[in-house]
Structure 1
């Protein structure tokens, strides 16, 4: 996977999503179910937040990335307008995490990110450090 260093605006996006995660975490809901917050930045620099939505029936649960993308689309942005995406995991003892951390999109979200903009910049970690790659790099064998 080809990755590049973060820009200042990428760091600002991470900081914003950390604040969203802190604001939205509810340890009394689903016994503190794993919560992820995501943010997408559009080409006009607007940022949209999303949070994962756990549900008693697993299929009804939503990841944070589609919630953030849905917010951007609902506000009138075209799929090509979505420039950058990051997801941040809330620190939880059961997940061996003491601090917020960048998490890669799951397989389903990778497919969705590529559907919306295969050149979208996605913040991931490489050797424990946040880096940027293109969405299509997350699905190297995708042929459709």
Structure 2
């Protein structure tokens, strides 16, 4: 996957999402609700937040990225207006991490992000450093 360094706008998006994550995490609810927060920045610089939504029925649970994408779409943005996405996870006691960290999208979220904009920039951890790639690059063998 070809990646590039974060821009100042990417750093600002990341900082915003970290603040969202720290503000919304609920360690007591569902053994750690909203431990992942995501942000989607549109091409005009607007930022839409999403948080993971656990549910007692797994199928009803939601990752943070689709919640953020849905918020932007609900506010009138089109799929090709979605420019950059990042997700961060809160360091729960049973995790190995000691701080909030960037996490890559899971498989279904990779598919969703690529469906909405193959060229959407996705901030991911690469060899201990946060880098930017495109949504389609996260699916190197996608054939449709």
Pair 1:36 & 2:21 matched:
no
Pair 1:117 & 2:105 matched:
no
Pair 1:11 & 2:11 matched:
yes
Superposed CA RMSD: 0.9
Take 1:52 and 1:110, find their aligned partners in 2: how far apart are those partners? 15
TM-score (norm 1): 0.98
Pair 1:138 & 2:138 matched:
yes
Take 1:122 and 1:111, find their aligned partners in 2: how far apart are those partners? 12
Structure 1 residue runs of 5 or longer lacking an equivalent are none
Does the 8 Å CA contact 2:25/2:33 hold for their aligned counterparts? no
Pair 1:24 & 2:36 matched:
no
Which digits, 9 at most, give the CA deviation of each residue in 1:92-136, with x for residues without a partner? 121111100000000000000000000000000110110000000
Take 1:97 and 1:56, find their aligned partners in 2: how far apart are those partners? 25
Q: Match of 1:54, SS?
A: coil
List structure 1 runs of 4+ shifted beyond 6 angstroms: none
Take 1:66 and 1:120, find their aligned partners in 2: how far apart are those partners? 14
Take 2:139 and 2:99, find their aligned partners in 1: how far apart are those partners? 28
**Residues 33 and 24 (structure 1 numbering): CA distance in 2 closer, same or farther, change over 3 Å?**
closer
Structure 2 residue runs of 5 or longer lacking an equivalent are none
TM-score (norm 2): 0.98
